[in-house]
Amino acid sequence: MYLLARHGGQAGWDSACTNQTGKKMTKRPSDILDQVLNREPVLVSLKGGREIHGVLQGYDVHMNLVLDRAEEMIDGEMKQVGTIIIRGDNVIYISP
């Protein structure tokens, strides 16, 4: 599993991405997102402890995301959100 996380306060992603063992990864974060684009649901963790599941439809260099068939856990229940746009500043991590 790859975990894509932004470094607080920096614009963009670290150019030297490493995996959990500290070895340099052969794939860029955008390569991993491209593999799940319009295919598999992803988990997006947001500031404030919110988590949203949905199918990634698109993203940009600011990590603004478009999710389809999105749902969010609210008060112990899954709430259907539909298609949403998430501002990249709110994204903590994306788990494909």
- pLDDT band per the 50, 70, 90 thresholds, residue 83: very high
Q: Is residue 43 domain-resident? A: yes
> E strands of 1-96, at which residues?
4-5, 41-46, 51-59, 65-74, 77-86, 91-95
Instruction: Report how far apart, in Å, the C-alpha atoms of 91 and of each of 6, 22, 38 are.
Output: 8, 23, 19
pTM, whole model, 2 decimals? Answer: 0.70
Range of the domain at 33: 24-95
58 beta partners: 66
Q: What is the pLDDT of residue 82?
A: 96
Q: Is 49 left (phi over 0), alpha (psi -120 to 50) or beta?
A: left
CATH number, domain of 37, equals 2.30.30.100
Q: Is 39 left (phi over 0), alpha (psi -120 to 50) or beta?
A: alpha
Q: Is residue 44 domain-resident? A: yes
Is the pLDDT at 19 greater than 80? The verdict is no
Mean pLDDT is highest, among 25-29, 67-71, 75-79, for 67-71
